[in-house]
Amino acid sequence: MFIPSHIASGYLIGKFMKTSSWTVYPFMPILLFASLLPDVDGLFSDTVAGHHTILHTPIFWIILFGGMILIHKWLKMAILQPVSLGIFLGVQLHLITDWITARTVGIQWLYPF
């Protein structure tokens, strides 16, 4: 998918979840930013298919999300809840939309196995 498509899909999910108690102020900007986050490695790649590194694998983001939840529980900072949820949903949405459109190499769902 292209950048505007990832932003649009993130926006739609954010609007859909607007009524949730988890989606206080920083949720929407974080969600929109996170919907682009897996493509950051594309800045350093010469090809479209070459940027599908570990950032395009669900296991990396699940581990990162788990770490953010542990930090949230340890520090008891309420702001981390919508931030971590926004990052997790935005990134997973990015991976799912890349998988559905499959215009390049797709997603390595079972990486590193």
For the entire predicted model, the pTM comes to 0.77
pLDDT tens digit string along 36-69? 998 887 777 666 555 667 888 888 888 998 998 8
Which tokens belong to 51? Answer: 């940027």
* 29 preceded by a cis bond (ω within 30 of 0): no
Which tops the pLDDT comparison, 58 or 18? 58
Residue 94, pLDDT > 70, answer yes
Residue 29, pLDDT > 80, answer yes
Amino acid 104: pLDDT: 59
Residue 35 has φ and ψ, to the nearest 5°, of -70, -15
Which tops the pLDDT comparison, 73 or 46? 73
Of the listed ranges 17-26, 31-40, 97-106, the least confidently predicted one is 17-26
Minimal CA–CA distance to 60: which of 83, 29, 37, 26? 37
DSSP alpha helix (H) spans, 17-104:
27-34, 58-75, 80-101
pLDDT averaged over the chain? 80
- Indicate the pLDDT class of residue 2, thresholds 50, 70 and 90: confident
Q: What is the separation of C-alpha 18 from the centre of its chain, rounded to a whole number of angstroms?
A: 17
DSSP string, 73-96: HHHT-TTHHHHHHHHHHHHHHHHH
Cβ 38 vs Cβ 58: under 8 Å: no
Which tokens belong to 7? Answer: 């932003």
